[in-house]
Amino acid sequence: MAEFDYATWVARAQAFTGALGRLAGAEVRSTAVAPPVREAELAPVERTLGARLPASLRAFFTRGAAGLDCGYAFEPGGEALDRLQGLLPDEERIYGGARIGPVSELPDFSAGVHGWAEDTWIAEEPAQRIIWESALPFARLDNGDYLALDLRTGEADPPVVYLSHDDDSSSIAPNLVAFLDAWERLCYLGPEHWLLLEFTDAEGNLDPDSDRAARLRDLFAG
């Protein structure tokens, strides 16, 4: 299998968001991408974290981008709104965009996650607490949730977990590359759980091959 091309994934994420300006009802909020970091620049981050980044996340930051903040909102009308509500009945407006890092903020993300594990309801739920305590967050969402790598298994290529501050947290992809591939094919939706996690399979993993996912892509095709 060919090695995953992180730089090309980042370029496609940026291009997808930028191109939404052509779509009626869509608003492009950001297409910001920071250049990749050098390996040496990860050292202070890892010292603060007290751990070495898994290879997949290192590769993202050193080959793809030090961080990206692509954002869009989409409020369709007419027939397109009907199609949206056929997918997400409670929504008249959706949003998304690839947002990962920046790598310099990983220690702050990690401190926030551990704070939630120690000082909130999560501390009283052992099954949830261990997920949060074993997580390495790589994206912080506006609602207080996180995307993270689940380090409990000790795998070299750990699963991606969605950390929910007000609901159960769960694994959503078997590894980072699988997550990136699925998220791209789900139009970088959310990634807040009430949007993105509507497109999962019976095991809870993101499912870009479903008929529902294909209808989502068709919605963005205009």
CATH number, domain with residue 200: 3.40.1580.10
Residue 8: predicted pLDDT: 98
- The count of domains in the chain is 1
Q: Within 13 Å of residue 36, how many CA atoms lie on the same side as its CB?
A: 18
Residue 153: pLDDT above 90?
Answer: no
Range of the domain at 165: 6-221
pLDDT tens string 17-51: 999 999 999 999 999 999 999 999 999 999 999 98
Distances in Å between the Cα of 185 and the Cα atoms of 34, 62, 198 are 22, 23, 14
> Structure pTM?
0.96
* Bridge partners for 96 per DSSP: 72, 189
Summary mean pLDDT of the chain: 95
Residue 155: predicted pLDDT: 82
Residue 84: predicted pLDDT: 96
* Residue 119 falls inside a structural domain: yes
* Residue 87 falls inside a structural domain: yes
Residue 2: predicted pLDDT: 65
DSSP three-state, residue 158: coil
User: What percent of the chain is predicted at pLDDT more than 90?
Assistant: 95
Q: Are 56 and 175 in contact (CB under 8 A)?
A: yes
Residue 1: pLDDT above 80?
Answer: no
Tokens of 181: 């591939």
* Residue 1 falls inside a structural domain: no
The DSSP code for 179 is H
User: What percent of the chain is predicted at pLDDT more than 70?
Assistant: 99
